[in-house]
């Protein structure tokens, strides 16, 4: 037998177990919980990879050749996430973008210490055109005692772990448990997520900005001014535009190559489109852990207190240079606003 261990991949399970040792008193519960997510991710990825074939083999609602009823992928992803997390004794409550209400699994079990909120399939409209989609998740601890319905409404800084799965040209899982950001690529040959991107750091300045520019005219002035500055080279370089329309894919590029991703407030949608608890919060936690920042245009995303599980928030997330420049634009806009107010007749 060879003594060279370098050819042995570090799987996500090994990595989590290693991380867990840093927490005194941590049991294997947490790695068992996360293995629910990796199992679901592998099942969703298998379906995503067959999405085109399924369309050929039968329309939505039809019986396919295996005798199964065809399902929309986001419905399937939701069921798979709910089922694989539902059997984990450490989870008290799950909440999904696809369900109006959270599901309380274990109201008073003392072992059930965690709450998991997720978007089972992010960017689902991209499925039909063979473009990358993802799954996002956010994990918080619940207070001890009997679970009360509002216990789930906690700010993002209380997340103990968060991340996403990206079903792209390869399938990747990226997570943080508060000790850096780590990326794992699914090796289809062995069916395991193996460590491919250890301790990801977001470059302090990137070259891409990412925003749906069709909303330009409806954005607040500081966003328009900022985008003008990115395009015209005011921040040390002329930025190039990239927009996929799947937040996970757009954020993944921003995490690895730097730059900025924006989902702005608009006149018709003053809180933007993205959901605070299972889209913005995981992304904000990852960005901060990788050396970047995330705000709603005014304050740190992780400080926002949700009123409901499906609350929306504007999001601007990126490297330090891009976020500092945005903050300058915001201050200028505020100054301009107040000087206009001062000039206004009483
Ligand atoms: P979902 O598919 O979970 O509803 O999420 C959709 C999202 C998000 O992934 C993306 O950033 C955004 O919608 C794109 O919205 P626009 O089409 O308005 O740009
Ligand atoms: Mn989504
Ligand atoms: Mn979704």
CA distances from 324 to 95, 103, 302, 320 (A): 34, 40, 17, 6
Say whether pLDDT at 312 is over 50.
yes
Cα 65 to ligand 1 centroid, rounded to whole Å: 32
Q: Both 243 and 331 in a single domain?
A: yes
Ligand 1 cavity residues, CB under 6 Å: 97, 119, 122-124, 212, 245-247, 263, 273
Nearest-ligand number for the alpha carbon of 98 = 3
Same domain, 153 and 215: no
- Same domain? For 141 and 216 the reply is no
Q: Report the nearest-CA residue for atom 14 of ligand 1.
A: 245
From the CA of 246, give the closest atom in ligand 1: 9
Measured from the alpha carbon of residue 317, the closest ligand is 1
Q: Do 177 and 28 belong to one domain?
A: yes
228 and 156, same structural domain? no
Residues 224 and 147 in one domain: no
Q: Are 260 and 209 in contact (CB under 8 A)?
A: yes
Q: Which of 138, 173, 197 corresponds to the end of one domain?
A: 197
Distance 251 CA to ligand 1 centre (A): 12
Q: Does 346 map to a domain?
A: no
pLDDT per position as a tens digit, 8-33:
899 998 998 888 776 655 667 788 89
Give me the pLDDT at residue 184, please: 98
Q: Which atom of ligand 1 is nearest to the CA of 133?
A: 9
Q: Same domain for 128 and 21? A: yes
Answer whether residue 147 shows pLDDT above 90. yes
- The reply to whether 260 falls in a domain is yes
pLDDT in tens, 223-281: 999 999 999 999 999 999 999 999 999 999 999 999 999 999 999 999 999 999 999 99
**Interval between CA 73 and ligand 3 midpoint (Å):** 10
Contact 216, 224 (CB under 8 A): yes
Give the residue-averaged pLDDT of 54-60.
51
Specify the CATH number for the domain of residue 228.
3.40.190.80
**Residue 202 counted as domain residue:** no
Residue-wise pLDDT for 96-110, tens only, equals 999 999 999 999 999
Whether 203 is covered by a domain: the verdict is: no
- Between 247-257 and 281-289, two packed helices, what is the crossing angle to 10 degrees? 10
Q: Which ligand is nearest to the CA of 272?
A: 1
Q: What is the percentage of the chain residues whose pLDDT exceeds 70?
A: 89
* Residue 285 domain-assigned (yes or no): yes
Mutate to test the pocket of ligand 1, among 117, 120, 274 (most ligand atoms within 8 A of CB): 274
Going through 230-295 in order, the beta strands assigned E by DSSP cover: 240-241, 260-263, 293-295
Is 46 in the same domain as 162?
Answer: yes
Please say if the pLDDT value at position 3 is more than 90.
Answer: no
Please check whether residues 258 and 192 belong to one and the same domain: no
- Mark whether 56 and 146 lie in a shared domain: yes
Among 177, 197, 217, the domain-final residue is: 197
**18 and 119, same domain (yes or no):** yes
Residue 86 within a domain: yes
Residue 119 belongs to a domain: yes
**Domain count across the chain:** 2
Shared domain check, 229 and 134: no
Condensed to tens digits (0 to 9), the pLDDT of residues 168-201 reads 999 999 999 999 999 999 999 999 999 999 999 9
Predicted confidence band of residue 57 (pLDDT cuts 50, 70, 90)? very low
Is the CB of residue 222 less than 8 Å from the CB of residue 253?
A: no
Position 222 pLDDT exceeds 50 = yes
Cα 133 to middle of ligand 3, angstroms: 9
Which structural domain, as residue segments, surrounds residue 319? 208-341
Which domain-ending residue is among 197, 228, 259?
197
Atom of ligand 1 nearest to the CA of 214: 19
CA of 177 to the centre of ligand 1 (A): 25
Domain contains 291: yes
CATH of the domain at 110: 3.30.540.10
Q: Relative to the alpha carbon of 279, which ligand is closest?
A: 2
């Amino acid at each position: 037998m060879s003594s060279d261990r370098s050819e042995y991949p570090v799987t996500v399970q090994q990595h989590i177990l290693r991380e867990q040792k840093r927490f005194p008193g941590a049991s294997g519960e947490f790695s068992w919980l996360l293995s629910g997510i990796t199992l679901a991710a592998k099942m969703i990825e298998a379906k995503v990879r067959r999405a085109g074939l399924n369309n050929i083999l039968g329309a939505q609602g039809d019986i396919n050749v295996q005798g199964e009823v065809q399902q929309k992928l986001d419905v399937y992803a939701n069921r798979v996430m709910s089922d694989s997390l539902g059997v984990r004794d450490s989870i008290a409550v799950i909440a999904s973008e696809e369900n109006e209400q959270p599901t309380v699994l274990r109201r008073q079990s003392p072992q059930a210490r965690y709450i998991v909120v997720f978007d089972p399939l992010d960017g689902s409209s991209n499925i039909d055109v063979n473009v990358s989609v993802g799954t996002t998740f956010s994990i918080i601890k619940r207070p001890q005692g009997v679970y009360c319905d509002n216990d789930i409404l906690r700010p993002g800084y209380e997340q103990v772990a968060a991340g996403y799965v990206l079903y792209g040209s390869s399938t990747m899982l990226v997570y943080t448990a508060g000790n850096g950001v780590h990326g794992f690529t699914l090796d289809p040959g062995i069916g395991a997520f193996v460590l491919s991107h250890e301790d990801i750091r977001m470059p302090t300045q990137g070259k891409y900005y990412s925003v749906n520019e069709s909303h330009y005219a409806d954005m607040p002035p500081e966003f328009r001014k900022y985008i003008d500055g990115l395009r015209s080279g005011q921040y040390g370089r002329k930025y190039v535009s990239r927009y996929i329309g799947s937040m996970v894919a757009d954020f993944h590029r921003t995490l690895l190559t730097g730059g900025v991703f924006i989902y702005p407030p608009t006149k018709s949608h003053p809180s933007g489109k993205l959901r605070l608890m299972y889209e913005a919060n995981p992304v904000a936690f990852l960005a901060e852990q990788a050396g970047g920042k995330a705000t709603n245009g005014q304050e740190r995303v992780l400080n926002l207190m949700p009123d409901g599980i499906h609350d929306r928030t504007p999001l601007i997330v990126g490297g330090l240079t891009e976020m500092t420049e945005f903050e300058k634009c915001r201050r200028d806009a505020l100054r301009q606003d107040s000087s206009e107010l001062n000039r206004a007749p009483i």
